[in-house]
Amino acid sequence: MVVAIDGPAGAGKSTVARAVAERLGFAYLDTGAMYRAVAVAVLARGGPPAARARELEVVGAARYLVGGHDVTAGIRSPEAAAEASRIATDQSLRDALVERQRAVLATGDWVAEGRDIGTVVVPDAALKVYLVASPEERAARRARELGTDPQTVLADQTLRDEQDRRREHSPLRAAEDAVELDTTGLTIDEVVEEVVVLTGEPHG
């Protein structure tokens, strides 16, 4: 079974997806981290993103190697986020990563988060959730996490969302059968509870 969680930057996808996975005893897949890891490698060494993607190794739950180099420490920086959004417009990169994501998600129970899980990666996911929140609240959350200024985060986030929504291939959008959840003003626990209930799993 796959629970797909999509939405724009800072909507709470990672925190919520991780907590839902833990509650249900499912594994958790962070597809944004895969784009970010490739982005760090492209910034460091250049080359076509799809070629770097073929060198990507995910070790355990959260370590990322590209061509044998551990890029994990760099993936959360604003530069990695901006570059990930830029290279994510490249269809051959997306093909390479989506193929790997589908292979992983084909076995076992997963909560997977990203931008195109419900629309492209797993269109027959058992549950699709599309998380949204006001731009100001999303920026404030990210700024707290990064310890930086909300105005700068808001400017970067607006650019990235525009790029993710407007791209030709797999743009950020809710699947038609996704449940849209506005997390503005909600606590993480409230959102997690709502998603767990939506899965219909008994042990939530």
Residues at the site binding ligand DC, with contacts judged by CB under 6 A: 9, 31-33, 35-36, 81, 84-85, 88, 114-116, 160, 164
β-sheet bridge partners, residue 57: 65
**What secondary structure letter does DSSP report for 13?**
H
Which pair of tokens denotes residue 143?
Answer: 């700024």
| Min dist. Cβ of residue 95 to ligand DC (A) | 12
**What secondary structure letter does DSSP report for 118?**
I
Which pair of tokens denotes residue 134?
Answer: 């006001």
Q: In a 10 Å sphere around its CB, with 0-12 CB exposed, 13-18 middle and 19+ buried, how is residue 46 labelled?
A: exposed
Q: Is 204:3 a contact under the CB 8 Å cutoff?
A: no
| Min dist. Cβ of residue 41 to ligand DC (A) | 14
Q: Which is nearer to ligand DC, 49 or 114 (CB)?
A: 114
Q: Which is nearer to ligand DC, 85 or 183 (CB)?
A: 85
Q: In a 10 Å sphere around its CB, with 0-12 CB exposed, 13-18 middle and 19+ buried, how is residue 195 labelled?
A: buried
| Min dist. Cβ of residue 203 to ligand DC (A) | 28
| Min dist. Cβ of residue 17 to ligand DC (A) | 10
Q: Which is nearer to ligand DC, 24 or 172 (CB)?
A: 172
| Min dist. Cβ of residue 37 to ligand DC (A) | 10
Q: Would you tell me how many other CB atoms lie within 10 Å of the CB of residue 176?
A: 8
Any alpha helices (H) in the chain, and if so which ranges?
Answer: 13-24, 31-45, 49-54, 78-87, 91-105, 135-146, 150-166, 188-199
Q: Which is nearer to ligand DC, 188 or 204 (CB)?
A: 188
Alpha carbon distance 162, 180 (integer Å): 19
Q: Which is nearer to ligand DC, 86 or 204 (CB)?
A: 86
Q: Which is nearer to ligand DC, 24 or 81 (CB)?
A: 81
| Min dist. Cβ of residue 199 to ligand DC (A) | 20
